[in-house]
């Protein structure tokens, strides 16, 4: 590379810190950049540079890997090489990094460091003159010094002799032979030393030789050693391949094989050994025949490919991944049913259905070892322990566990991977997960599968169809691998809050297990078995310092949290622990209004006294820490006027109670609906109005002026509170009928009754879903009687026995029975022989 005379490098240079190799003037070397300082240098200087000078950087060898300590600046060598970056290649796999191809220009010494962050910037002094490299003659600098002239002539002859011993059919050897005569004599030591197979220590000696005479003296022994090594190799080749291997092993690093010649600084023998080691790994990976054929083909291409090509790194990364994948490596299942039952019971309270399904899988696995992994989908509200159950299942089986978060994923390449046609391609999350766990039969948790998105990059839910189909996933093909991988031994567990947003084809491939919310009693047990001990440990407390009685826990559950799971409960317990930790840490400074004063401790104003242990959290302390109660039992208070009824609704967060309010005023018979309702719920309201108008005489319903038609001269307004929440579904039909019947008759609905059910125009009540969640919500709200469709009576078997014992259930088949059960003393005009709820037996 030629530069015009008098060209000077900038006096301020950004420094590339490298420990991989040594860049000498006149040589071209490829460097891998992955440390933070070097990454900032590339992104801020090289990628934004628009002129030649902006792409000139300083390459400084250092004694330590720059990535080993990103905070402290490594020890820098005293002399470096200014170079121009002729190529910058970026990649994101296996981690973000750049590859730089740099041509050395001249030596420089570091005068002072100007800054160390975000990259190193130094003031430098140029040691070589660039105009020397533009002179074609070989004698203009050396002719005045006889000793230097003899050294240069000897060095030149040795270089010619070396080239004569190499294979001229190799393009890079032929290119160097053509350049040898045109190179200035003073550049020969740097150029030849960069090509010789020597250690970095020897190359540093050449770099440090600022004097040309010293430079020749350092490089000539290296060149002579290479020639002697080649002579020895040529002799041993005549003795047979075994002798050649012995000589190569003895003189490794000092022999330059005549069939290859490389401008890279890396040792070609090491390269060959590395490729051979990779081939042995491929042969020993025990992969299927199809995958083995692909790997051997890629390995053959890799051997013929120069390392300077960007595709070299892609192919090498591909082969490394293929070798690391667990094609045949698996863990042995722990098939002790008794131990598994004990472990599941100790990790999770309740969840009997899930535990039973896991034990069934273990039992069948024990009888038939070739059973394919089932595809389970846990559906339930947040905070009930779906994810932790998956982790416990892995521990029960003795398998590796890997969680894949799918919330917000909208690119099918996240599942299937990218094709290897561009820099930055990588395998999908399934293959990456298998590489991470290192076995082919782990437990994969596909978290939040109902929150997958769809975009221009494809539908990831469609990409999961092959993964979650036991009839197809034995030959799952990732785009990056482009060969089949057997996923049939993987136990896939998906979690979701609702099945409504899961595509039907994907839902059909999974066994759905409903995970309902917890009862109050179950939450108390969970709190005292798991949550409180965990929070005490996290906050550095012991049971001898803090105690939370069961009465206080019940108060937290009923008055400060209203949820299906236990996440909010755990946060409230954490808040209590933090408040107590402050008191314990500061020696418990007691004041007259201190609610955390242990019982029996004397008040001493503001004097700090050691606390009496344990600190017991009572209702007063609870209010002081968590504030006023968030939830109150408001059911009876809101049912004090006609035109209000209490319904039950299901949401992805669990069951909820829902008030329905109605009012009437003079008008033209119009119906107004408010509360952000869906189309199905609006239809239920119109059905209720039509049925009541058709049966107004039977039930003695009148309008505001006393007429038989409830809507004549009357406008009706139906409102569903919590207007910010979207509501839909048919299960509010019986609640709307009861609410309107109360409005038209002027009678109050019973304050302890909640109801659910779909209605028809003929007055029949149809079954609805989510019965368990709805009943648990009613129980949390303090409701004592529940009206539900007769055909939902079979669902009561899922309700915990203790909850069933505390509730009255009235099963109905038509609206006549609903009205008779919802009002004290029945409803005028009803002909039902239904037993009054107060006298009904508990189911």
Q: How far is CA 828 from CA 502, 643, 822, in A?
A: 47, 16, 12
Q: Return the bridge partners of 76, or none.
A: 62
- Cα-Cα-Cα-Cα dihedral sign, residues 703, 705, 711, 715: negative
Phi/psi of residue 644, nearest 5 degrees: -135, 130
Per the omega criterion (within 30 degrees of 0), is the bond before 614 cis? yes
| Six token digits for residue 826 | 């029945």
Residue 387 in marked binding region: yes
DSSP code for 266: S
Q: Which helix (DSSP H) or strand (DSSP E) does residue 662 occupy?
A: strand 654-666
* Residue-by-residue DSSP string for 367-394: H-TTPPPPEEEEE--TTSSHHHHHHHHH
Cα dihedral 414, 416, 419, 420 in deg (nearest 10): 80
Rounded CA separation 153/329 (Å):
62
Residue 384 in marked binding region: yes
Rounded CA separation 187/806 (Å):
96
Residues 787/763, Cβ–Cβ less than 8 Å? no
| Six token digits for residue 113 | 């460091």
Residues 372/488, Cβ–Cβ less than 8 Å? yes
Angle between helices 386-397 and 352-367 (to 10 degrees): 30
Residue 342 in marked binding region: no
Residue 600 in marked binding region: no
Residue 533 in marked binding region: no
351 burial class (0-12, 13-18, 19+ CB within 10 angstroms)? buried
What are the E-state strand segments in 409-450?
Answer: 443-447
Residues 142/207, Cβ–Cβ less than 8 Å? no
Cα dihedral 190, 191, 196, 199 in deg (nearest 10): 40
| Six token digits for residue 585 | 């840490």
**Is-catalytic flag, 731?**
yes
Rounded to whole angstroms, the maximal C-alpha distance in the chain is 131
**Is-catalytic flag, 774?**
yes
| Six token digits for residue 750 | 């019973």
Q: How far is CA 461 from CA 120, 122, 228, 335, 466, in A?
A: 47, 53, 65, 33, 10
Q: What angle do CA 806, 516, 384 make, to 5 degrees?
A: 115
Q: Return the bridge partners of 477, or none.
A: 484
Residues 644/661, Cβ–Cβ less than 8 Å? yes
Question: 3-class SS at 349?
Answer: coil
Active-site choice (194, 731, 742, 745): 731
Residues 396/491, Cβ–Cβ less than 8 Å? no
Q: How many beta carbons lie within 10 A of that of residue 143, not counting itself? A: 11
Residues 653/561, Cβ–Cβ less than 8 Å? no
DSSP code for 557: H
The full length of the chain comes to 843
Find where tokens 């069934």 sit.
Answer: 360
Rounded CA separation 394/392 (Å):
5
* Residue-by-residue DSSP string for 745-783: HTPPBPTTEEE--EE-TTSBEE--S-HHHHHHHHHHTT-
Phi/psi of residue 240, nearest 5 degrees: 120, 165
* Residue-by-residue DSSP string for 440-491: SS-EEEEETGGG---BTTB-HHHHHHHHT-TTTGGGEE-TTT-SEE--TT-E
Residue 738 in marked binding region: no
Give Cα 573 distance to the centre of its chain: 28
Q: How many beta carbons lie within 10 A of that of residue 16, not counting itself? A: 28
**Known binding-site residue numbers for ATP:** 380-387
What amino acid positions are annotated as catalytic residues? Answer: 731, 774
């Amino acid at each position: 590379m030629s530069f015009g005379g008098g060209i000077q490098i900038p006096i301020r240079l950004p420094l590339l810190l490298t420990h991989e190799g040594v860049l000498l003037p006149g040589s071209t070397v490829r460097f891998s950049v992955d440390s933070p300082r070097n990454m900032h240098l590339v992104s801020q200087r090289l990628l934004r540079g628009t002129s030649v000078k902006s792409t000139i950087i300083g390459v400084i060898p250092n004694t330590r890997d720059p990535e080993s300590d990103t905070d402290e600046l490594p020890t820098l060598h005293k002399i470096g090489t200014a170079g121009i970056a002729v190529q910058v290649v970026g990649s994101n796999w296996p981690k973000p990094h750049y590859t730089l191809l740099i041509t050395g220009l001249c030596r420089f010494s570091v005068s002072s460091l100007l800054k160390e962050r975000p990259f190193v910037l130094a003031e430098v002094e140029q040691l070589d003159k660039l105009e020397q490299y533009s002179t074609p003659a070989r004698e203009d600098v050396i002719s005045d010094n006889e000793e230097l002239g003899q050294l240069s002539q000897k060095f030149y002859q040795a270089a010619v002799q070396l080239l004569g011993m190499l294979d001229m059919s190799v393009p890079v050897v032929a290119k160097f032979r053509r350049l040898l005569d045109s190179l200035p004599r003073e550049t020969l030591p740097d150029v030849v030393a960069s090509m010789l197979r020597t250690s970095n220590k020897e190359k540093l000696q050449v770099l440090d030789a600022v004097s040309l005479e010293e430079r020749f003296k350092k490089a000539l022994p290296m060149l002579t050693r290479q020639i002697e090594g080649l002579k020895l190799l040529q002799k041993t080749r005549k003795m047979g391949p075994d002798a050649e291997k012995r000589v190569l092993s003895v003189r490794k690093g000092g022999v330059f094989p005549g069939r290859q010649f490389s401008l890279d600084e890396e040792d070609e023998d090491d390269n060959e050994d590395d490729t051979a080691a990779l081939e042995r790994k491929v042969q020993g990976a025990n992969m299927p025949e199809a995958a083995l054929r692909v790997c051997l083909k890629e390995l053959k291409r890799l051997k013929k490919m120069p390392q300077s090509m960007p595709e070299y790194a892609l192919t090498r990364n591909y082969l490394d991944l293929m070798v690391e994948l667990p094609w045949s490596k698996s863990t042995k299942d722990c098939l002790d049913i008794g131990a598994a039952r004990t472990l599941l019971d100790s990790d999770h309270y309740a969840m009997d259905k899930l535990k039973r399904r896991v034990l069934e899988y273990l039992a069948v696995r024990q009888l038939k070892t070739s059973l394919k992994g089932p595809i389970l989908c846990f559906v339930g509200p947040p905070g009930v322990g779906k994810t932790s159950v998956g982790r416990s299942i892995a521990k029960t089986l003795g398998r590796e566990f890997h969680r894949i978060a799918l919330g917000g994923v909208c690119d099918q390449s996240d599942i299937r991977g990218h094709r290897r046609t561009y820099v930055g391609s990588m395998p999908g999350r399934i293959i990456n997960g298998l590489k991470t766990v290192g076995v082919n039969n782990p437990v994969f948790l596909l978290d939040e599968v109902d929150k997958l998105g769809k975009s221009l990059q494809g539908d990831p839910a469609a990409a999961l169809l092959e993964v979650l189909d036991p009839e197809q996933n034995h030959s799952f093909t990732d785009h990056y691998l482009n060969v089949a991988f057997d996923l049939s031994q993987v136990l896939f567990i998906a979690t979701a809050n609702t099945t409504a947003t899961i595509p039907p084809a994907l839902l059909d491939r999974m066994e759905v297990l409903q995970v309902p919310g917890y009862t109050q009693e179950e939450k108390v047990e969970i709190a005292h078995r798991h949550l409180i001990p965990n929070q005490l440990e996290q906050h550095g407390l012991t049971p001898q310092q803090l105690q939370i009685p069961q009465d206080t826990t019940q108060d937290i559950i009923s008055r400060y949290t209203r949820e299906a799971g236990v996440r909010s409960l755990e946060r409230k317990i954490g808040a209590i622990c933090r408040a107590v930790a402050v008191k314990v840490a500061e020696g418990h400074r007691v004041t007259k209004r201190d609610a955390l004063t242990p019982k029996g401790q004397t008040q001493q104003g503001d004097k700090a006294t050691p606390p009496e242990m344990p600190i017991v959290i009572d209702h007063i302390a609870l209010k002081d820490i968590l504030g006023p109660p968030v939830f109150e039992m408001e059911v009876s208070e809101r049912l004090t006027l006609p035109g209000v009824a209490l319904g039950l609704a299901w949401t992805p967060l669990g069951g909820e109670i829902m008030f329905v309010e109605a009012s009437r005023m003079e008008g033209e018979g119009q119906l107004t609906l408010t509360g952000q309702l869906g189309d199905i719920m609006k239809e239920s309201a119109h059905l209720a109005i039509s049925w009541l108008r058709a049966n107004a005489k039977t039930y003695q319903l009148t309008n505001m002026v006393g007429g038989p038609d409830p809507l004549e001269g009357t406008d009706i307004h139906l409102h569903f509170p919590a207007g910010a929440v979207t509501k839909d579904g048919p299960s509010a039909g019986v609640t709307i009928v009861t609410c309107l019947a109360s409005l038209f008759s002027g009678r109050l609905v019973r304050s302890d009754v909640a109801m659910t059910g779909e209605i028809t125009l003929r007055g029949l009540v149809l079954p609805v879903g989510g019965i368990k969640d709805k009943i648990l919500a009613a129980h949390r709200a303090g409701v004592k009687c529940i009206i539900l469709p007769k055909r939902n009576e079979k669902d009561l078997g899922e309700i915990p026995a203790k909850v069933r014992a505390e509730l009255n259930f009235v099963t109905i088949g038509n609206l006549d029975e609903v009205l008779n059960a919802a009002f004290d003393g029945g409803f005028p005009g009803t002909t039902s022989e239904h037993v009054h709820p107060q006298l009904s037996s508990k189911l």
